Amino acid sequence: MKKRIANLLYLFIIVTVSLLFTEKTKCQTITSLGTGLNGTVRALTMYNGNLYAGGSFTTAGGVAANCIAEWNGTSWDSLSTGLNDTVFSLCVYKGNLYAGGAFTKSGKVSVNHLAMWNGTKWDSVSRGLNGNVYSMITYDSLQTSGPSLLMIGGAFTSSAKLSLKYLALWNGIKLDSIRRTKFDNSYIHTVPDNTVHALISDYYQDIDIGGIFSNAGSGPYLKYAGFVQFDLTQWFTDADQTVLDSNGILAFANYGTNLMVAGNGYFTSGGKKQYIGYVNLTSPPQLQWTTMGSGVNNSVYCMANYNSDIYAGGAFDTAGGLRVGYIAAWNGSTWDSVITLNNHVQSMVANGSVLYIAGDFTSAAPVISKGRNPQSASYNHIVEFNSAPNGINTINSKSEARIFPNPSNGIFTLQMKLTSENASLEVYNVLGENIYSAPMQKGANTILLNLSQQPSGIYLYRIASEQGEYITSGKLIIE
């Protein structure tokens, strides 16, 4: 009985404090990265602890840097002679940095649309490709045996005399066609029939492929425009094809069991053109598209998972009816403004507590908020953004837990790194009853909380050490 009363008191305190801090208490900071770059940034990635940016610029921080540059936290540096045309994609594979794009040379070395940085210079990847590379992804479990692979998507159709239509595989030794590679002792006989712009490994470790294609072969399900899922031995669809058109999918992001999908206005709902939506991957085989409020009013070029929200960037200036500056955050139920930029966002990457945002813009300002006056300043094509969580996930925490999506339909993902000892996670309902428990180990933890059988409402989680010492707590919302 005493424990029940203690749990109820704990619940009352946490709910009261959390509600007090839910209303826009985010502390935002915008930091310049030196003097920035002199042209559009289209790709970002972290490599060996540093930030790498690719695009169509020629200087970074005043240093000559052709289409690619490195930020070490204090200054920019070039990567040898760089590349001779736009970089659209960056990826780390087997400890090396790969770049894909419109380029064909690094200095005098031919690197046709695909190049590997060896630490001192750019090397060609086999004989390269005959068209632009727009997306790359590594996938260790794509094959049931054999090496991990780098999957490459773009507008190419061949490498020298080898036919590689819009998708290619690199195993560190040779480029090959997905049709020539055996998966689960079977071969894929068809590939997308047009440009691939986006690749992602989703919650179930299947590869999702987006672009402007309208056909990716046949399987046990219908084929449809611009988005397919690759599951070892077959292509199959994930949603109702009647809502799709072929304007093109440009970006994916994972949000718990939801796959976020965005692009150039790829489907309609109720007669309205949408630019962003999602499917929940827990209900195969024929999944349904879900809109995100009233959506945004123009193309979405990129997305990132940051502070338990999905950040979307692109050419839009309204999101959920709010005026925004080409970037907005989705918390699972509503849109929020982030910062105000003066031009499009092309790429984002989260790194710990910060989000790097890049694109066509040259100035940025914080959003208008109570007690804070926005001041626009020069930020040449890239900014470092830091936003403290608004209390919906962690309260008075000694260590940060990331929970997403929140609110949700009852399926939550918790990510947390315990630095000193093992711990336990407990979830309580409004009666103070413990409805969920799970052990947590020292080090990195990822826990799938399935509360889908619980009624809608507010639930509280608490994480404590094995000795009972409080670590962190917060609320969960089931819609």
Domain parsing of the chain, residue ranges:
2-22+391-478, 28-387
Q: Residue 373: which residues within 8 A CB-CB, separation 6 or more?
A: none
Gyration radius of the chain's alpha carbons = 23
Average pLDDT over residues 108-129: 95
Question: Is the pLDDT score of 30 beyond 90?
Answer: no
Q: Choose the most confident range, by mean pLDDT, from 25-34, 217-226, 237-246, 299-308.
A: 299-308
Question: Is the pLDDT score of 2 beyond 90?
Answer: no
CATH classification for the domain delimited by 2-22+391-478, as one of 2.120.10.30, 2.60.40.3080, 3.40.50.300, 2.60.40.10:
2.60.40.3080
Long-range CB contacts (within 8 A, 24+) of 448-456: 448/411, 448/412, 448/413, 449/403, 449/411, 449/412, 449/413, 449/414, 449/476, 450/410, 450/411, 451/410, 451/411, 451/412, 451/427, 451/476, 451/478, 452/409, 452/410, 452/411, 453/410, 454/410, 454/429, 454/478
Assess if CATH 3.40.50.2000 describes domain 28-387.
no
Higher pLDDT, 212 or 143: 212
Q: What is the Cα–Cα distance from 475 to 146, expressed in whole angstroms?
A: 44
Strands (E), 241-344: 249-255, 258-269, 272-280, 289-291, 300-306, 309-314, 318-319, 322-323, 327-330, 335-337, 339-341
User: Could you report the per-residue pLDDT of 80-113, keeping only the tens digit for each?
Assistant: 999 999 999 999 999 999 999 999 999 999 999 9
Average pLDDT over residues 206-235: 54
Question: Is the pLDDT score of 31 beyond 70?
Answer: yes
Q: What is the Cα–Cα distance from 200 to 139, expressed in whole angstroms?
A: 9
The closest alpha carbon to 216, from 173, 249, 182, belongs to: 249
Higher pLDDT, 427 or 406: 427
What is the rounded average pLDDT for all residues in the chain?
80
Average pLDDT over residues 125-139: 94
Question: Is the pLDDT score of 10 beyond 60?
Answer: no
Q: Specify whether the CB–CB gap between 372 and 389 falls below 8 A.
A: no
The closest alpha carbon to 149, from 119, 180, 122, 117, belongs to: 180
Question: Is the pLDDT score of 237 beyond 60?
Answer: no
Percent of the chain's residues with pLDDT above 90:
45
Q: Specify whether the CB–CB gap between 126 and 174 falls below 8 A.
A: yes
Q: What is the Cα–Cα distance from 416 to 441, expressed in whole angstroms?
A: 10
Whole-structure pTM value? 0.73
Is the Cα torsion angle 330, 335, 336, 337 positive or negative in sign? positive
pLDDT confidence of 336, banded at 50, 70, 90?
very high
Under DSSP, the state recorded for 395 is B
